[in-house]
Amino acid sequence: FPVLVYIHGGYWQCLSKDESGFTAPPLVSQGVAVVAVGYDIAPKGHMDAMVLQVRRSLAFLVEQYSRIRGVYLCGHSAGAHLAAMVLSTDWTEYGVTPDIRGAVLVSGVYDLEPILHTYVNDVLNMSWEVAKRNSPMLCVTTAVPAAETCEVLIAVAQHDSPEFRRQSQEYSQALRAAGWSVSLLDLAGVDHFDIIEKLSEESYVLTQVGEELSSSP
């Protein structure tokens, strides 16, 4: 069975996996298992630890369930950042290599440096070095053979801020230049929040993308 791993947003300092169940019903009805991943949010958690926890969660998942037929990542905002960091993982350090076949990154943050100059960093307390090593834009790896079958969809909302829109476009270009299969989807009529909340709807385009990705052989 295919597994969709959902990583919540909340600027790395609010929300949890417990509020992530809205993504499940349309996908479960199509035979997709949905796993909501949690991580220690700030101020308890710091950025290095959050990235490590999400990577370890993927490793744990594939170790525990041998019948998984493909892992599909979905993350929103801060969760899209963490999902993007999963794509840059050196899995030799974990002893397993998850068969990641797709990723849907929704209104994500892919360069953390601008956050250093905002109120968001008051809680995160990131240094420049931490922001640099945890910026997906700076961690893009050349697509290895296993990653060539991974379809990456980067979605951004029409009413997202200019910074979210800029980062989505530049990250998609960086992945494509490194040999990844990438699509950029600009969704009209939605903002930073309802672009993900609509995943509870069967007819929503991102719900259908998730179903289509996970039904591929």
List the catalytic residues: 77, 160, 192
For residue 81, the cross-strand partners are none
Longest dimension (CA), the chain: 45
Q: Tokens in use for 45?
A: 């958690």
Instruction: In whole angstroms, give the CA distance from residue 82 to residue 193.
Output: 17
The contacts of residue 153 (CB under 8 Å, 6+ apart) are: 102, 103, 104, 105, 182, 183, 185, 209, 213
What 3-state DSSP class applies to 33?
A: strand
What helix, strand, coil percent values describe the chain, rounded to 5?
Answer: 45, 15, 35
CA 28 to chain centre: 19
Closest residue by Cα to residue 211 from 30, 6, 5, 22 = 30
